[in-house]
Amino acid sequence: MALEVKPPADNPIPPHVSPDGQDLTLPPGSALDREATRRTRRSFIGLGLAGLGGVLGWRYLLNRPDAEGTPLPFRRVLDANGRLSAAYFRETRLAPEFAKSQGVAQVRTNGTAGLQSAIDLGAWRLRVQPYGGGPAQEFTLADIKALPRIEMTTQLKCIEGWSIVVNWAGTRFADFLAKYPLASRSGQPIRDIANPPADLAPYVSLVTPDEKYYVGLDMHSAIHPQTLLCYEINGQPLSIAHGAPLRLVTPLKYGIKHLKRIGTIAFADVRPADYWAELGYDWDAGH
Binding-site ranges for another protein (CB under 8 A): 3-9, 11, 13-24, 26, 32, 35-36, 39-40, 42-44, 47, 50-51, 54, 69-71, 73-75, 77-78, 81, 85, 88-90, 93-96, 155, 157-163, 251-252, 276, 279-282, 286-287
For residue 219, what are the contacts with CB-CB under 8 A and spacing of at least 6? Answer: 183, 196, 200, 201, 202, 203, 204
Shortest Å distance, C-beta 172 to another protein: 16
Q: Taking Cα atoms as reference points, which of 82, 85, 84, 64 lies closest to residue 73?
A: 64
Q: Which is nearer to another protein, 52 or 146 (CB)?
A: 52
Q: Which is nearer to another protein, 47 or 241 (CB)?
A: 47
Alpha helices in 126-259 (DSSP H): 141-145, 173-179, 219-222
Q: Which is nearer to another protein, 40 or 116 (CB)?
A: 40
Give the separation between CA 93 and CA 176, rounded to whole angstroms: 21
Cα 11 → chain centroid = 48
Shortest Å distance, C-beta 203 to another protein: 19
Shortest Å distance, C-beta 222 to another protein: 15
Q: Which is nearer to another protein, 60 or 121 (CB)?
A: 60
* Dihedral angle over CA of 127, 130, 135, 138, nearest 10: -30
Query: Residue 240: how many CB atoms within 10 A of its CB?
Result: 14
Shortest Å distance, C-beta 247 to another protein: 19
Shortest Å distance, C-beta 27 to another protein: 8
For residue 205, what are the contacts with CB-CB under 8 A and spacing of at least 6? Answer: 214, 215, 216, 217, 264, 265, 266, 267, 268, 272, 273
Q: Which is nearer to another protein, 50 or 121 (CB)?
A: 50
Query: Are 53 and 264 a contacting pair, CB within 8 Å?
Result: no
Q: Which is nearer to another protein, 56 or 121 (CB)?
A: 56
Task: Look up residue 44 and give its amino acid.
Answer: F
Shortest Å distance, C-beta 3 to another protein: 5
